[in-house]
Each structure stands twice: as structure tokens, then as C-alpha cells.
Amino acid sequence: MADMDVCGEVNEAGDLGARLKLVRKIHGISQRQLARQAGVTNATVSFIEQGRVSPSVGSLEKILNSVPMSLAEFFSLNLAESEQIFFRASEMPEIGDGRVLCHLLGGAQQGRSMSILRKVFPAGQDSGPEQQLLDGEVGGIVIAGELEVAAGSDFALLEVGDGYYFSARRPHRFRNPGGTDCVVISAVTASQPHVAPLPVQVQQELAIQGESRHGAEQAD
DNA sequence: TACAAAACGTCAATCGTGAC
DNA sequence: GTCACGATTGACGTTTTGTA
């Protein structure tokens, strides 16, 4: 064999396969697409991803060139840093307080500095007592129904397409005065949590999801 | 050094599965 | 039924290793 064994020098075959799979997923292409672009067969890509072969440098370079990515970039990838980017509706924890239905985007993300929520205010429902944060900003856009927003001494009735944006230091309150559900996509950047801590059950579920996802990625 | 066997990487073809 | 997906099988060529 003219080519040096990549895995023996740099990494385990399984890790190599995991890296290749991650790269492929990042680019959103299938094994066959990647193989076709690289000029190898899908079996080759499949075997590498499964860690069943230790590809030669030549083969690996061919595959990475089709992405494109250098070997250095490939081996500098930190698998542990792979984070979830896309979220299905079912993956957004429900953190409502009984009055307002809230789904938190990226609830399992550690160290997140922003919260994006999909809030549903039932007809006639309000957000409860005035909220006030120590720091940050809040904003949102009404995508269905009507929403009353009181921020400090300011007040407005917002309709579909309207929005709000103000300092979280302002005492604020929301209410749906309409006869139908009001849906708002809102964002909060705050050093203090703007909602109650996640229920223990939700935290546990998120932990399980995170572990299973991490385990599945390692098993891949 | 030369030879044979084993090991390895790669290939085309094929299979099983799930979505539409 | 069709299509795309990932995985598997068997065959082939090349390289490595052991032996005389």
C-alpha cells in the first residue's frame, strides 16, 4: 500500500468515521452524494463511517476535497462541540405557567445567552403579574391574534405583523384581549432567567434526550 | 532476494427499510 | 410501486508478512 494508514497514525477508525459522518451531515448530503462527488463508492463511505476500514490518506483526501475540507481541518474538528442546530417542535420543552403556553427553542443548549419562545396566549388570558428583569432586552412579533403589551408607562394593542422591543428592566405585562388565541414569537436576552426554572420532569427529559443523542452520535 | 499466503482497501451489485 | 437511503456481500488488486 502506497498510502499511509491514516487511523493508526492519527485516530481510531471509529472516531474517523464519526468525524466523516459529522462533516457529511453538516453539508446535508447522503453517503451516495458524497461518494459520487469524491469519485468513490457509497460502500467506501459507509465502511469508513462505520469504522470498518481505515482509509488511506489518498481516499480520505478525495472525499474531503469534494466537501471541500483539508485534512487539518478534518482532524481539528471537535466532536464534543457538535451541538444541535435544528429543533423539531417536539424537541422544544413546554415551559408555560398554566396561563400561557410557551415552547422554548434550544432548551437543552448549555450556556445559551438568548431565549427564543413561541408563546400562545389563549383568548382573554394574560401573563400574570408584571415581570421585570435585571438586564437584557425583550422583543417579539405577533403572528396570530391580538396582543396587549404594557411596558412601563407605555401601552399598545398589537395585531398580526406588529411587534415590540424594549429593555427588560421595564416592568412589563402581556394580555390577549381578543376572542382567539394569540401566537407570538418572542426573544429575550437576559442575564436573569425571564421564566421560572424548567420543571424537574422537563429537565430530566432534556437530560435523557441529550444523553441519548450524545450516545447515538457516539454509536454512529 | 524471491515467492506464497494473509491482510487490507476498494469496487459493483444487491438487499432491507422507510417515505411518498 | 417507486425512489432514496444506509448497509452488506463477494470479488479483485495491492501491500505486507513470513519463510526458504
pLDDT at A41 (0 to 100): 75
The residue out of A61, A82, A103 marking a domain boundary is A82
Q: In angstroms, how far is CA A156 from the centroid of its own chain?
A: 32
| Closest nucleotide to A47, Cα to C1' | C7
The residue out of A47, A82, A117 marking a domain boundary is A82
Q: How far is the CA of A38 from the C1' of B12 (A)?
A: 17
Range of the domain at A148: 89-219
DSSP labels for A62-107? HHHHTTT--HHHHHH--GGG-------GGGS-B---SSSEEEEETT
A45 plus A96 within the same structural domain: no
A15 plus A122 within the same structural domain: no
Q: Which of residues 25-54 of A touch strand B (CB under 7 A)?
A: 39-44, 47-48, 53-54
A52 plus A116 within the same structural domain: no
Q: Report the CATH number that the domain containing residue A174 is assigned in CATH.
A: 2.60.120.10
Q: How far is the CA of A8 from the C1' of B1 (A)?
A: 30
Candidates A104, A146, A154; CA nearest to A126 is A146
Residue A125 has pLDDT above 50, yes or no: yes
A186 plus A206 within the same structural domain: yes
Residue A8 has pLDDT above 60, yes or no: no
Q: How far is the CA of A109 from the C1' of C17 (A)?
A: 51
Which of A183 and A79 is assigned the larger pLDDT? A183
Q: How far is the CA of A6 from the C1' of B1 (A)?
A: 30
What are the two backbone dihedrals, phi and then psi, of residue A138, each rounded to the nearest 5 degrees?
Answer: -130, 150
The Cα–Cα gap between A31 and A123 comes to 49
A209 plus A128 within the same structural domain: yes
pLDDT at A133 (0 to 100): 60
Cβ of A50 less than 7 A from strand C? yes
A101 plus A170 within the same structural domain: yes
Q: Report the CATH number that the domain containing residue A10 is assigned in CATH.
A: 1.10.260.40
A102 plus A173 within the same structural domain: yes
In tens, the pLDDT along A143-183 reads 989 999 988 888 899 998 999 988 877 788 889 998 888 99
The residue out of A82, A99, A132 marking a domain boundary is A82
pLDDT at A148 (0 to 100): 92
Q: How far is the CA of A78 from the C1' of B8 (A)?
A: 29
How much is the average pLDDT of A196-212? 35
Q: Which of residues 11-30 of A touch strand C (CB under 7 A)?
A: 30
pLDDT at A6 (0 to 100): 38
Average pLDDT value for chain A: 68
Cβ of A17 less than 7 A from strand B? no
Sign of the alpha-carbon torsion through A9, A14, A16, A17: positive
pLDDT at A5 (0 to 100): 36
A74 plus A103 within the same structural domain: no
Q: How far is the CA of A54 from the C1' of C2 (A)?
A: 35
Q: Would you tell me how many other CB atoms lie within 10 Å of the CB of residue A114?
A: 13
Which of A200 and A32 is assigned the larger pLDDT? A32
Q: How many folded domains does chain A comprise?
A: 2
On chain C, which bases lie within 7 A of the protein's CB atoms? 4-10, 14-16
Q: How far is the CA of A18 from the C1' of B14 (A)?
A: 26
A192 plus A109 within the same structural domain: yes
A109 plus A68 within the same structural domain: no
A110 plus A21 within the same structural domain: no
Question: Can you name the residues that pair with A128 across neighbouring β-strands?
Answer: none
In tens, the pLDDT along A205-217 reads 333 333 333 333 3
A141 plus A204 within the same structural domain: yes
A30-60: b (≥16 Cβ within 10 Å) or e: ebeebbebbebeeebbebbbebebbbeeebb
